């Protein structure tokens, strides 16, 4: 009973001002919880936005990768479609060469097919590089060998071209293999 009396005494000892102070403290604690809850809610919203943004970005990456593969496939298709008529010409030339007695007409046919093939590739941006007689440039040429220059002015210049170099849209796609004078 002493404990009960003591608790009762403590409750009774509180003055009205003290009761108000206790109520204000409880209200302050509840107000402190509200900003915490508000921050938790904001954090949850930000996490959701982040997850959505991440998912959108992941979908974007997948879509662009798929589009890139599709573009490469269709780009190759265009070139192949433009080369097929040249293959047809080769087949006709081979069939005609079997019965041909005139070598000059076969040579002329082959030259026509070569020119047709090159014009198809030129339409796609291919160009031959001119190397003979020019200064050797390691950025454009691949030196196969060096030989003594036939004259003083040919030292350090391209004497002969073993394989032609090519550019596509002003970008080197095959370096010219050359013989350089020393």
Q: What is the pLDDT of residue 26?
A: 61
Q: Which of 139, 180, 177, 175 is nearest to 157 (CA)?
A: 180
Query: Is the pLDDT at 1 greater than 50, yes or no?
Result: no
Q: What is the pLDDT of residues 59-83, one digit of tens each?
A: 999 999 999 988 887 877 888 888 9
74/77 Cα distance (integer angstroms): 5
Positive or negative, the CA dihedral 33, 35, 36, 41 is: positive
What's domain 127-182's superfamily in CATH?
Head domain of nucleotide exchange factor GrpE (2.30.22.10)
Q: Which two tokens stand for residue 17?
A: 């001002």
Beta bridge pairs of residue 176 = 141
Q: What is the pLDDT of residue 29?
A: 57
Residues of the chain with CATH 3.90.20: 16-124
Q: Count CB-CB contacts under 10 A for residue 144.
A: 14
Residues of the chain with CATH 2.30.22.10: 127-182
Let me know if domain 16-124 sits in CATH 1.20.120.
no
CA atoms within 13 A on the CB side of 157: 12
105/96 Cα distance (integer angstroms): 10
**Is the CB of residue 90 less than 8 Å from the CB of residue 113?**
yes
53/134 Cα distance (integer angstroms): 56
Q: What integer best gives the mean pLDDT of the chain?
A: 84
Query: Is the pLDDT at 20 greater than 70, yes or no?
Result: no
How many residues comprise the chain? 182
Mean pLDDT is lowest, of 35-39, 66-70, 120-124, 156-160, for 35-39
**Mean pLDDT on 43-58:** 95
Model confidence at 182, in pLDDT bands (50, 70, 90)? confident
Q: What is the pLDDT of residue 38?
A: 87
Q: What is the pLDDT of residues 158-176, one digit of tens each?
A: 999 999 999 999 899 999 9
Model confidence at 129, in pLDDT bands (50, 70, 90)? very high
Q: What is the pLDDT of residues 75-115, one digit of tens each?
A: 778 888 889 999 999 999 888 888 888 888 888 989 999 99
């Amino acid at each position: 009973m002493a404990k009960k009396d003591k608790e009762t005494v403590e409750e009774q000892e509180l003055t009205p001002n003290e009761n108000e102070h206790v109520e204000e403290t409880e209200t302050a604690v509840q107000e402190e919880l509200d900003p915490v809850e508000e921050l938790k809610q904001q954090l949850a919203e930000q996490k959701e936005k982040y997850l959505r943004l991440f998912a959108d970005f992941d979908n974007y990456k997948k879509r662009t990768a798929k589009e890139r593969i599709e573009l490469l496939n269709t780009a190759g298709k265009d070139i192949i479609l433009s080369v097929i008529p040249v293959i047809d010409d080769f087949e006709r030339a081979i069939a005609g060469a079997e019965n041909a007695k005139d070598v000059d007409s076969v040579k002329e046919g082959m030259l026509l097919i070569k020119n047709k093939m090159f014009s198809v590739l030129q339409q796609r941006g291919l160009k031959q590089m001119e190397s003979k007689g020019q200064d050797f440039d390691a950025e454009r040429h691949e030196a196969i060998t060096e030989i003594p220059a036939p004259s003083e002015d040919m030292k350090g210049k391209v004497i002969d071209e073993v394989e032609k170099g090519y550019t596509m849209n002003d970008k080197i796609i095959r370096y010219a293999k050359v013989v350089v004078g020393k």
